[in-house]
A and B are shown apart, each in its own frame.
Chain A
Amino acid sequence: MDYENRLVPENNLSTEHPLKEFFILLAGLTGIVIVAVVVLATLAESLALRIPFSVEERLLADTSFFSTQSATISDEEQRIENYLQKLANQLAAHMAIPAEMPLTIHYSSDDSVNAFATLGGHIVIFRGLIEHLPHENSLAMVMAHEIAHIKRRHPIVAAGRGITVTMALATLAGIGDSGAVADLVSLIGIPLTLGFSRAQEEEADEDALTALQARYGHVTGAEALFFILQEHSFAEPPPFLSTHPAADKRIAQITERQTEQPSVDSLTPLPEFFGK
């Protein structure tokens, strides 16, 4: 009988190190995602800017968020809101806001330490933030920052970019046999989109400082806002994973401007009915 079993020749295995293949493919996928996101985001931005402001206003016209807010507001809160609106109009005069972009300020009695600008020229400022601001200059910094977002049309650009990039990444993520590609694609794509958000915040900071300079003649007191935000945020994620530039960097930008001018002793106080 001439049968024999020989030892397995080990010819079914690859001689290449698995990590080498892994990193080459990962680099390829990362490259594709980066190119796709950057190209789509840039295209989305230029298209979003062409959407007329009146469309933004119409988009929010059907929502009840702002109308229920103003219906339940108390007299005291209304007083604060009127003051905020007046401050906004004064700052807008120094920021060359076009006439067809009306700014509507909303005061919320919620105690979150936050403020935001959204579509249609609406700005919401929360009680939690105002309670912590020491003087009008810091409040003006917040207001001018939000107005700058609206002037540069950041809300509609961010919305357009977000939708485009999310849909593109979702399409990419659906390819392949397992869910691991989806995880990878979102892990690569998300920090990229955050970079765009940070660029917007930097632009808004710069515009705000210019507005403060025009209105008050100095930018003293503007940095108070960021110290307060630092105090009230949990743990700051690393800069490449966050929507805003690092607080230290923003404070440094302000102090740099301040060293270019003589320091001012008296800052504008907030009105008495703020209850300070």
Chain B
Amino acid sequence: MYELIIFLVLVTLGYLIGSYVERKHFKSIREREQTYIDLLAFSVRTPPADARIGKSSLVAGSVVISIDYFKKTAAALRSFFGGRVSSYESLIDRARREALLRMKEQAKKQGANMVINVKLETSSISKGAKGQVGAVEVIAYGTGLTLT
């Protein structure tokens, strides 16, 4: 009986706290995206032909976001039946956008006006091992250019 209670408590806490944290994070992400909208970031490999480049450097941003117990259980149910795991989709979306924003923050600190050759790498959410809470790790990196 205690297992049932612990399970219900974990799932409820996971849902309440997890969805609150997620909402706050998305709000922060959208605000910062608006702030950094002028710092251009592209996955094009070469800088624009008419750009006069002063300085260039590597800029990167990375983030690790953990899942909560509710997301884990929802994903487990989904993996039984198949289909879109929407609980993980929002997690990946957050992580990638956050990683890009952190990369832009670092670029701004270094005085860059734009970032080219942006690449993203996602590490898999740790699966399987019973009892382990999974996490998603994303790194975004590119070449920061200071235009004169």
A residues with CB within 8 A of B:
1, 3-5, 7-8, 12-14, 16, 18-19, 21-22, 25-26, 28-29, 175-184, 187, 237-238, 241
Contact = CB atoms under 8 A, between A and B. Distances in A.
B76 A14 contact: no
18 contacts: A1-B48, A3-B48, A5-B39, A8-B97, A14-B90, A18-B15, A18-B70, A175-B79, A176-B80, A177-B128, A178-B134, A180-B75, A181-B76, A181-B80, A183-B3, A183-B7, A187-B4, A241-B4
Given A25-B80, A178-B75, 10 more contacts: A3-B42, A12-B90, A12-B92, A13-B86, A22-B74, A25-B74, A178-B72, A183-B7, A187-B4, A241-B4
Contact of B33 (A7, A19, A182, A237): A7
Listed residue (B7, B74, B84, B131) with the most chain A CB atoms within 10 angstroms of its CB: B74
A18 B40 CA distance: 34
Query: Which of the listed residues B34, B40, B76, B81 has the most CB atoms from chain A within 10 Å of its own CB?
Result: B76
A8 B50 CA distance: 27
B86 A21 contact: yes
The 6 closest A-B pairs by CB, nearest first: A179-B130, A180-B76, A14-B86, A25-B77, A176-B79, A12-B93
Given A187-B3, A187-B7, A182 B19 contact: no
B78 interface: yes
A183 B76 CA distance: 10
Given A26-B77, A176-B79, A178-B130, A5 B48 contact: no
A22 B77 contact: yes
Chain B interface size, as a band, is 35 or more
A19 to B, nearest CB: 7
A109 B51 CA distance: 95
B87 interface: yes
A31 to B, nearest CB: 12
Contacts of B57: none
Nearest to B42: A3
B47 to A, nearest CB: 10
B94 to A, nearest CB: 9
Nearest to A14: B86
B112 interface: no
A256 to B, nearest CB: 29
Contacts of B34: 7
Instruction: Please indicate which of the listed interface residues A18, A26, A181 has the most CB atoms of chain B within 10 Å of its own CB.
Output: A18
B79 to A, nearest CB: 4
A172 B77 CA distance: 12
Contact of A177 (B1, B3, B37, B79): B79
Contacts of A14: 84, 86, 89-90
Given A5-B37, A19-B15, A241-B1, A13 B78 contact: no
A182 B72 CA distance: 13
Contacts of A25: 74, 77-78, 80-81
Contacts of A180: 72-73, 75-77
Nearest to B29: A8
Interface in B72-127: 72-81, 84, 86-87, 89-90, 92-93, 97, 114, 127
Contacts of A28: 81
Contact of A3 (B1, B30, B40): B40
B75 A18 contact: no
A16 B89 CA distance: 12
Contacts of B139: none
B39 to A, nearest CB: 8
A25 B70 CA distance: 13
A131 B66 CA distance: 57
A20 to B, nearest CB: 10
B60 interface: no
Contacts of B87: 18, 21
Nearest to A22: B74
